[in-house]
Structure 1
């Protein structure tokens, strides 16, 4: 047996133990409720096809239906596990047993379904910029991040995200890295889809770590052939009437290609700057160089977290800047949770998103 086969076997064993623990409280409760082993007989065939073909945290050969069915079921079980204690306390306090447990089950099913089938939310934020020209007051920037075009985010799905942004009639549209999952199979597809982005002042992108899990130069060529300007440690000046905006992009940090100083080297003095940086850990350096707005992604908001509490998510293992809007001095950072996923195509407590940032005079 090869080392790779042993590693895959150990990972499958770990994943099986983990999902068993997640399902166990819910399945045992359902068995007790129905007085039959039927819930257990359902849980096993739902989980087995996905687990059997799981090769790594990022790859499985299981068909889409069994993948979404298993992940949605596990997410629903996780939510129900959390709700079991408060539901039991509510019943003990006198609330109707059937209604209480029915509501808990409905919440679990809704959130479980949404975790695998939910469409990205549209997030709208306002950033106040000191010294912003009146011509740029109200300037709207769209952000699409962490597309991860691949088996779970095909070209048609990416195109639907593009269409939603196009419908907003934006001033500028940005794509902040991780356009593909890995390999070359979806390079042309994601370039075609993103080539459909439309905004008054154009579409700009920066590279993420996954974009070098293939031939990065090939990806850049395809994107630019489709009309997307890729900013790798460089910037361009966008003109709006008599006002100017400097739009810059930083290359990938994981492969040490990033160079913030170089990206800002040609920034005209006094011109507000929007920096595309896939990795939010570059924000302190951007702030030190007086960048007004940094747009990042990378964290996915953890993909798994406590709803409404951005500090409590798996993203804390990736960066201190987990999701949403941050401010230090006169510099702002927006960390996009991303539209796609890496690893299992599921989110719980960290919904996918598209963002629109509006610039306003401070």
Structure 2
């Protein structure tokens, strides 16, 4: 018998709750403690196409806040302060800002909070599935633009230095509820130019590796959000099952590095277990 997604989630939730019930305070930890923890993960990324003037440039990536489900505005304010403390040159947000955009009553305060993020070379964002859901497409666009983020929807931008050295930032629409088009996204990027792709959905990396893209940054999967010993992730979303968290090297076509951020919030189930919320700092390194 084929089971629905709702039945599957209920079954997985039951397994999870039964497991935590056997482990005493595990349920309280997963509900009240781990979702409020934070891992600041630092990666260095070396590539010969990174121009020398970009050597040491720092990127901060955050994702999947899902404000309004369990994640609060107070948490967002604290995380904005942490992002600024990392002194990023560029900031990326890879989608799912509000859990239900049309239902959140305090949307008007978000530009003031997100607008405090400082990044001298720009702030960029892409759509996630929740940003499109519930008639949220324009809501998300308005919030991010008022927060001085550039939304990339199947398009690219250039970041240039005074000496004309440059890198490219490409952003693709969401795979679940949007209309992603990788060809359209990178068609204006010249050959042999270092390119970073922002994609909410990590599993699009298989398609992205067909193109001359060197680094893909994603979110969406929450690192599984709930992981059990010897079992792994209980729930991974469509387009977030193959690459749930961390760094991957794809070499079948063009060489592509994928990094998947675990996100800051939760959705569907108000728990995190062995999937601590994450902010990622990536330092670009030019190879002589």
Tell me the TM-score normalized by structure 1: 0.68
| C-alpha displacement of 1:75 | 2.6
Q: SS at 2:40's partner residue?
A: strand
Q: How big is each residue's C-alpha offset from its partner over 1:168-187, in whole Å with a ceiling of 9 and x where there is no partner?
A: 11110000011110132254
**Preserved contact between residue 315 and residue 322 of structure 1 (Cα < 8 Å):** no
What residue is the counterpart of 2:138 in the other structure? Answer: 217
Q: How does 1:93-132 map to 2 (within 5 A)?
A: 114-118=33-37, 120-132=38-50
Distance in 2 (CA, whole Å) between partners of 1:260 and 1:244 is 21
What residue is the counterpart of 1:264 in the other structure? Answer: 186
Q: Which runs of 5+ in 1 are unaligned?
A: 1-7, 28-72, 77-108
Distance in 1 (CA, whole Å) between partners of 2:62 and 2:44 is 17
Q: Which runs of 5+ in 2 are unaligned?
A: 1-5
What residue is the counterpart of 1:228 in the other structure? Answer: 149
Q: SS at 2:100's partner residue?
A: coil
Higher relative helix content: 1
Q: How does 1:216-295 map to 2 (within 5 A)?
A: 216-242=137-163, 243-295=165-217
Distance in 2 (CA, whole Å) between partners of 1:130 and 1:283 is 21
Distance in 2 (CA, whole Å) between partners of 1:148 and 1:203 is 19
Distance in 2 (CA, whole Å) between partners of 1:352 and 1:123 is 10
Distance in 2 (CA, whole Å) between partners of 1:24 and 1:339 is 25
What residue is the counterpart of 1:296 in the other structure? Answer: 218
1:355 and 2:243 equivalent? no
Relative distance call for 1:328 and 1:241 in structure 2 (3 A) is farther
| C-alpha displacement of 1:197 | 1.5
| C-alpha displacement of 1:16 | 9.3
Q: SS at 2:27's partner residue?
A: helix
What residue is the counterpart of 1:149 in the other structure? Answer: 67
Relative distance call for 1:153 and 1:190 in structure 2 (3 A) is farther
| C-alpha displacement of 1:240 | 2.2
Relative distance call for 1:252 and 1:352 in structure 2 (3 A) is same
Distance in 1 (CA, whole Å) between partners of 2:17 and 2:210 is 48
Relative distance call for 1:257 and 1:188 in structure 2 (3 A) is farther
| C-alpha displacement of 1:23 | 5.7
Q: SS at 2:34's partner residue?
A: helix
What residue is the counterpart of 1:169 in the other structure? Answer: 87
Tell me the TM-score normalized by structure 2: 0.85
1:75 and 2:72 equivalent? no
Equivalent pairs, count:
273
Distance in 2 (CA, whole Å) between partners of 1:24 and 1:222 is 40
Q: SS at 1:266's partner residue?
A: coil
Structure showing greater radius of gyration is 1
What residue is the counterpart of 2:125 in the other structure? Answer: 205
